[in-house]
Amino acid sequence: ASVHAILDGFGGVSSIEELNGPKVHRLENILILGSFYHDAFDQLQLWLENRPNGSKYTYVVKASAEHDLRSLLNRRVEFTTTDTVNLPLPDPRYFRLHAACARAADLSGAEEYNNRILREAEATGVLAADGGSSELLDYVLMSRL
């Protein structure tokens, strides 16, 4: 299945309609974070979960076991604006989808696998002549996109 089909079915987000080309750059899809937190968010090591008894724009911070973000865990984050017509808040569906992907990555051990590949990339000076490092090359190139 294509990534778009998975996002559409699993996350309830029409990725082709909402997150494609210039449509990706909308306030509903923007979250500004410091570089450390941005990297953790991008690598699915940090996510926001909707509070059960809060508004749809109130979240708690969660992180994978592998990441050292203990000081942030379970902190409350609330997005607000006084001008919802011209300044929309981040779409809660995107946070739900991101959180689902992050939890799946955390539970599946994908983060441990990614960390192993990154450590290998840092330690490897040259690629193997027999093609044995093709997985490493692919990962490094794809993570730069």
Helix and strand numbers, DSSP H then E, in the chain:
6, 3
Q: Which of 123, 131, 115, 127 is nearest to 40 (CA)?
A: 115
Look up residue 122 and give its two tokens: 């840092």
Residue 145 has pLDDT above 50, yes or no: no
22 or 112, which is more confident: 22
Q: What is the pTM of this model?
A: 0.70
Residue 18 has pLDDT above 60, yes or no: yes
Give dist(CA 32, CA 52) in Å, integer. Answer: 24
For residues 3-28, give the mean pLDDT.
78
The residue type found at 57 is: Y
Segment 95-135, tens digit of pLDDT: 988 898 888 887 776 666 666 766 777 777 777 777 777 77
74 or 113, which is more confident: 74
Residue 48 has pLDDT above 90, yes or no: yes
The residue type found at 76 is: R
**Contact assessment for residue 66 and residue 45, using Cβ atoms and an 8 Å cutoff:** yes
Segment 80-105, tens digit of pLDDT: 888 867 888 999 988 988 898 888 88
The number of CA neighbours under 13 Å toward the Cβ of 78 is: 8
> 């011209």: which residue's tokens?
86
Helix H or strand E encompassing 86: none
